[in-house]
Structure 1
């Protein structure tokens, strides 16, 4: 875990590599262009071999400055994410840039709404603006009941939500309850979130090449350890589209596309339909091998009320109406919660394994 003092010193010196996450392996000495890095974050390797992302001080601090500019100015942050991942580290970077002392939530016992409220109290007592960053699962727990967690999160000037796709129903409910939610898109390779509510931060550029999202600008990492430095553009593993209003809509990872009977099905599109249905809290859609269709669509659904789950036929019909019959789930299971990895992303491999 990286501390605020370590990060402050590293950013000031612009040297001395801090390792946020090594994937359990010892990193070799830096050489050549790699020596400009102050932070190393190793990816989970969930979609391939783990890669160690090397980030420079300029990219990290620029990301923080652009975030404050978008949100309305520097403020005091509450750290409610682990600093083994870029989202948590950026809360510390923003605090260094703002010259403020962040509040820190103890995550050892897990994330509880009452603990969030306790950790938020001294942060909200500070003058000026107040911010925090969460993953969708944390937000869902805060808005589940009219308790102290909801009362606290409503007082923040902005609540950044990232790390995983946020169900539209959760966003709608949160905003209706007065939570100032800002959705973010980004990754370690872009110093964290670089697209807020669909719009790139100032100076950040987004384009689509063959349907794949590419990002350019001053927030890009230097490159991967042992590889070549990044150029002007970083090609992500995500599919996207540009809406009529110019905002970016991320459609999910290209690796997750399900090919069933010759049809390409984006799980994120099916998930959006499922989570918009009454009685559905969360959903994860995966492809299962099938001798006839190649793959079939399967959905793990977390119901709002485990004792009264929604009707499976109605869920499938909703998908058929919105996406097409080819995208209708062939298998649906109700689960109490979805397995997570990293800072809050759904573990799709574990979900697929639950159907075996």
Structure 2
């Protein structure tokens, strides 16, 4: 495997990497690409990447280039990407997902189409792609902009969606698309996804399946452990509560550090949210308040303006869809739910605001 090819294909043209790095007056997203290529071709055997901060303070970690390249090859093999396939790059290059799109293009000799992440995506009306990776917010934005559902996204043959949770309503919309849509499970430390789940069409499933040479197990407290070649210490311990079918197949139940203990009972807010998400269209999540004697009290936090009518509607939904122990004791409204830099809900930030 040649980690450092001389050329990269951009917008159908074979470009000498060294010349692209030195090219003046590039748009901002091409400058970011040049910056990553400069780091990739530097003599160090690692690249530095930033974690998203969804489970704590964002940090910078180092990943071996060979480890990153192996991850890229897994994706190429899974999606059967071939030389000169057109692939859409519309992710920020400061995160690992954006960097991996570049590495895949280099190693697979793919035709990379680099687009500003905040694009309006109107080019999808006429441009066709073999493969693309997006975050859920981008997919939702495209679906909202389409005059006919799937008219634009239908021009992407295979779509990888990750970076944050995919809502019930979004996944439901994907069922009507001809595009093969996959949900990814992974993290910065694993150089993006270690497992995929097909969400629509033939072969759609509710469980993630590990990619080649990767397996999983559960820790004593029920959290996912990942075995992946190239990691210095095995297994990689996550804080994700999971259920396993076997050592290659699993589903995520929530995060152990999000667990709420009320009246001596442990609740996964993600599992409660899953029961409600098909009935509540506005952004929301389950949080908690300190309470005596329960310890913590479940609270439904909704993005929007408070109204007595909405409170009654939400309470009716909760009574219908949740068991008596899962019922939120209060409903709070926030103008906007706090989010991390890459759009995930900041649960710690929500809890701090709710406490006020």
Q: TM-score band, normalised by the shorter chain? A: 0.7 to 0.9
Q: Cα–Cα, structure 1 residues 234 and 85, in superposed 2: closer, same or farther, change >3 Å?
A: same
Which position in structure 2 is the counterpart of 1:103?
A: 113
The structure with higher relative contact order (CA 8 Å, sep 6+) is: 1
Q: Cα–Cα, structure 1 residues 121 and 173, in superposed 2: closer, same or farther, change >3 Å?
A: closer
**Is 1:84 the counterpart of 2:85 in the alignment?**
no
TM-score, normalised via structure 1 length: 0.76
Count, aligned residues: 310
- Deviation at residue 354 of structure 1 after TM alignment: 3.7
SS at match of 1:350: helix
Q: Which of 259, 269, 272 pairs up with 1:270?
A: 272
Which position in structure 2 is the counterpart of 1:116?
A: 121
Structure 1 distance, partners of 2:338, 2:179, is: 26
Moved more, 158-167 or 237-246: 237-246
Q: Cα–Cα, structure 1 residues 340 and 101, in superposed 2: closer, same or farther, change >3 Å?
A: farther
Structure 1 distance, partners of 2:248, 2:194, is: 15
Structure 2 distance, partners of 1:267, 1:340, is: 17
- Deviation at residue 10 of structure 1 after TM alignment: 4.6
Q: Cα–Cα, structure 1 residues 219 and 336, in superposed 2: closer, same or farther, change >3 Å?
A: farther
Structure 2 distance, partners of 1:146, 1:49, is: 36
Q: Which of 212, 227, 231 pairs up with 1:216?
A: 227
* RMSD between aligned residues: 3.0
Q: Cα–Cα, structure 1 residues 137 and 46, in superposed 2: closer, same or farther, change >3 Å?
A: closer
Which position in structure 2 is the counterpart of 1:296?
A: 297
Which position in structure 2 is the counterpart of 1:158?
A: 158
Moved more, 90-99 or 189-198: 90-99
Q: Cα–Cα, structure 1 residues 249 and 101, in superposed 2: closer, same or farther, change >3 Å?
A: same
1:128-277 alignment, distance < 5 Å: 130-147=130-147, 150-197=150-197, 198-210=208-220, 211-218=222-229, 220=231, 230-243=232-245, 247-277=249-279
Q: Highest CA radius of gyration, 1 or 2?
A: 2
SS at match of 1:325: coil
Aligned 8 A contact 2:150 2:178 in 1: no
Structure 2 distance, partners of 1:330, 1:251, is: 23
- Deviation at residue 353 of structure 1 after TM alignment: 3.4
Moved more, 336-345 or 155-164: 336-345
SS at match of 2:315: helix
Moved more, 336-345 or 62-71: 336-345
Which position in structure 1 is the counterpart of 2:338?
A: 339
Structure 1 distance, partners of 2:122, 2:107, is: 25
Which position in structure 2 is the counterpart of 1:57?
A: 65
- Deviation at residue 122 of structure 1 after TM alignment: 7.6
**Is 1:70 the counterpart of 2:73 in the alignment?**
no
Cα deviation 1:156-176 (Å, max 9, x = unaligned) = 122111111211331121222
Unmatched segments (≥5 aa) in structure 1: 17-35, 221-229
- Deviation at residue 12 of structure 1 after TM alignment: 5.2
Q: Cα–Cα, structure 1 residues 331 and 136, in superposed 2: closer, same or farther, change >3 Å?
A: farther
Structure 2 distance, partners of 1:282, 1:244, is: 34
TM-score, normalised via structure 2 length: 0.76
